Structure 1
């Protein structure tokens, strides 16, 4: 299972132009985001591990985390009786 992480590496890449060369697979998105970031149109706040909503889509998470993330995404139990 992948190790859990926060978004610190994404923030570091945004602030450090040298690291941008290591992200070739997101080249177009990187230029778009970098431009918006430099113009202060967007900001990159720190997101704690517990608040990483994408984990539910890309990682195996325990039952508690799974249900917490469903709640944060405002997704109900599709199997619950209506």
Structure 2
């Protein structure tokens, strides 16, 4: 999540340099409710074994209003078509969302 936030902030800076200024809050979509809860909760969770040093960075950006975390179910994660093997029905649904066409499909 922290890498995605850094990339989004970098893109905002590039756009600002190009004269495209956006003062809106960056929305980060996440399909893990526990991750969102840990990021929003100021209490450190001792039971999280994969907590890294970037937790304060995410918390700072949340509190400063730079980012907003929003839950999205895994079934709506369009990027999964690029990163995972999916069942055919899910693949076709994601493909249509991206507007991809089969150039070999007979017309």
Match of 2:50 in 1: 22
Q: Which runs of 5+ in 2 are unaligned?
A: 1-30
Higher percent of residues as helix: 1
Q: Report if aligned partners of 2:40, 2:62 keep a CA contact under 8 Å in 1.
A: no
More strand per residue:
2
Rounded to whole Å, the distance in 2 between the matches of 1:54 and 1:30 is 27
Structure 1: segments with no counterpart, 5+ residues: 1-5
Paired residues in the alignment total 74
CA–CA separation in structure 1 for the residues paired with 2:83 and 2:56? 21
Instruction: Tell me what 2:36 maps to.
Output: 11
CA radius of gyration, larger in: 2
For residues 30 and 7 of structure 1, the distance between their equivalents in structure 2, rounded to whole angstroms, comes to 18
